[in-house]
């Protein structure tokens, strides 16, 4: 779990930092250089922490839901003859639906579709060996 959650947290943290750099401070905070720098640092910190925590939580939830569904519904999944990409898409869709279930039906459906896409993309990248960086020498 840590080998998946950690890198995604760090990557999303830096993505949030990059997005925080693009936010232009309001004119009120551009009066002095100190206020400008402080506002930029606050934007970077808030955005990067928010991105990191949200993505880390979603990935943890994806792993837990995937393991739980795999454990509880093992025979049903074997009868359906789903491939690994389809299973990952199913886990991602369920994770996205649960993650945004408190926001209403439309965000829940959007998050399910997005979760299915990200889950299948993750599975595809894993099976093709794109995520096995640095493990060949060990």
For the residues 9-26, what does the mean pLDDT come to? 89
Residue range 40-84, pLDDT digits in tens: 899 899 999 999 999 999 999 999 998 999 889 888 888 888 888
Q: Which candidate, 4, 13, 2, 5, places its Cα nearest to that of 131?
A: 4
Cα-based distances in Å from 12 to 53, 56, 57, 96, 131: 9, 8, 11, 17, 16
- 80 class by beta-carbon count within 10 Å (0-12 exposed, 13-18 middle, 19+ buried): exposed
Tokens of 110: 């959007």
Global pTM? 0.78
Half-sphere exposure of 96 (CA within 13 A, CB side): 22
Half-sphere exposure of 120 (CA within 13 A, CB side): 12
Domains of the chain, by residue range, sit at: 1-57, 73-138
Residue 107, Cα to own-chain centre: how many angstroms? 16
In the chain, the percentage of residues whose pLDDT exceeds 90 is 40
């Amino acid at each position: 779990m840590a080998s998946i959650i950690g890198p995604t947290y760090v990557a999303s943290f830096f993505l949030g930092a990059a997005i925080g750099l693009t936010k232009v401070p309001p004119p009120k905070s551009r009066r002095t250089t100190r206020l400008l720098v402080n506002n930029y640092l606050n934007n970077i910190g808030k955005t990067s922490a928010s991105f990191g925590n949200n993505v880390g939580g979603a990935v943890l939830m994806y792993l837990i839901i995937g393991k739980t569904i795999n454990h509880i519904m093992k025979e049903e999944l074997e009868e359906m003859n789903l491939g690994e990409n389809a299973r990952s898409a199913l886990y991602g869709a369920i994770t996205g639906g649960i993650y945004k279930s408190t926001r209403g039906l439309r965000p829940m459906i959007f998050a399910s579709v997005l979760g299915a896409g990200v889950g299948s993309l993750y599975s595809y990248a894993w099976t093709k060996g794109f995520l096995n960086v640095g493990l060949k020498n060990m």
